[in-house]
Structure 1
Amino acid sequence: MKTKILLTLTFVLIISCKTDKKEKTNHSVATEKIDNSIEVVTNVMDFVCVDTIKSGWNTFKYINKSNEPHFLMFDDYPDDKTIDTIKSQVMKPFDDGMMYIMKGDMDAAMNAFGALPEWFQDVKFVGGTGLISPGMTANVTIKLEPGFHIMECYVKMENGMFHASMGMAKELYILEEDSGNQPPEADINITISSTEGIVYNKEITKGNHIISVFFKDQIVHENFVGHDVNLVKLSDNANLDELEAWMNWMNPKGLISPAPEGVTFLGGVNNGLTGNIQYFEVNLEPGNYAFIAEVPNSKSKGMFKTFSIIE
Structure 2
Amino acid sequence: MDTLKYLSCIPLISLLVWGCSPQNKDEYRVEITAYDYAFQAPAELPSGWITFILNNEQAHKIHELSFARISENITYREYLDEYVGAWEILLEEFQAGEVERSDISERVNELLPDWADGIKYVNARGLVSPGRSAEKTVYLEPGLYAVDCWVKTEDGVIHLVNGMTRPLTITDESTNSPEPSVENIITLKEKEIDVQWKAEAGSHSFAVLMEADSLGNPVHNNIHLIKTEGNTDLNEVNTWMDWYKVGGLRTPAPADFLGGVSTYDAIPGESATYFSLEIDEPGEYAWIVQVPEGEPLRHIFNIP
TM class by shorter chain equals 0.7 to 0.9
Q: Is the 8 A contact 1:69 1:257 kept in 2?
A: yes
Counterparts of 1:93 and 1:158, CA distance in 2: 20
The verdict on how the C-alpha distance between 1:298 and 1:50 changes in structure 2, with shifts beyond 3 A counting, is: farther
Q: Is 1:277 the counterpart of 2:261 in the alignment?
A: no
SS in 2 for 1:160: coil
* Equivalent residue in structure 2 for 1:168, among 164, 168, 173: 164
Counterpart AA for 1:102: Q
Please point out which of 258, 271, 285 is paired with 1:266: 258
CA positional deviation for 1:59: 0.8
> Alignment partner of 1:244: what SS?
helix
- Selected match of 1:250 from 240, 244, 248: 244
The alpha-carbon distance between structure 1 residues 296 and 70, as it changes in their structure 2 partners (threshold 3 A), is: same
2:221 matched residue in structure 1: 227
Please give the alpha-carbon distance, in whole angstroms, between the structure 1 residues aligned to 2:276 and 2:284. Answer: 18
Q: Does 1:70 align with 2:54?
A: no
Which residues in structure 2 correspond to 1:86-235 (within 5 Å)?
86-107=79-100, 112-114=107-109, 115-128=111-124, 130-192=126-188, 195=190, 198-216=193-211, 227-235=221-229
Q: Contact 1:231/1:268 (CA < 8 Å) preserved in 2?
A: yes
Aligned to 1:38: 30
CA distance, structure 1, for counterparts of residue 154 and residue 205 of structure 2: 34
- Once the two structures are TM-superposed, the CA of residue 201 in structure 1 deviates from its matched residue by 2.8
Q: What is the identity, as a one-letter code, of the residue corresponding to 1:281?
A: S
- Matched residue count: 274
Could you tell me how far apart the structure 1 residues matched to 2:119 and 2:171 are? 18
> Aligned-pair distance for 1:112?
4.1
**Would you say the 8 A contact 1:38–1:58 is kept in 2?**
yes
Contact 1:190 1:214 in 2 (8 A): yes
Matching residue's letter, 1:171:
P
CA distance 1:205–1:187, shift in 2 (3 Å): farther
CA distance in 2, matches of 1:136, 1:202: 22
The alpha carbon displacement at 1:134 in A equals 0.9
Q: Percent identity?
A: 28
Question: What is the one-letter code of the residue matched to 2:128?
Answer: I
Letter in 1 for 2:43: D
TM-fit CA distance, 1:204: 3.0
* TM-score normalised over the length of structure 2: 0.81
Conserved 8 A contact 1:247-1:293: no
What SS does the aligned partner of 1:47 have?
Answer: strand
Distance between the aligned counterparts of 1:82 and 1:216, measured in 2? 36
Q: What is the identity, as a one-letter code, of the residue corresponding to 1:243?
A: V
Contact 2:16 2:31 in 1 (8 A): no
Q: Tell me by how many angstroms 1:282 deviates.
A: 2.1
Does the 8 A contact of 1:90 with 1:116 survive in 2?
yes
- Compare 173-182 and 126-135 and name the one that shifted more: 126-135
- Matched to 1:57, the amino acid is W
**1:205-247 CA deviation, whole Å, 9 max, x = no partner?**
33332111134458599xxxx8322211111121222111101
Does the 8 Å CA contact 1:96/1:112 hold for their aligned counterparts?
no
Cα distance in 2 for partners of 1:259, 1:124 equals 27
Q: Would the aligned equivalents of 2:41 and 2:166 in 1 still touch at CA under 8 Å?
A: no
Alignment RMSD, CA only? 2.6
Q: Distance in 2 between matches of 1:264 and 1:283?
A: 13
Asked if structure 2 preserves the Cα contact closer than 8 Å seen for 1:29 and 1:52, the reply is no
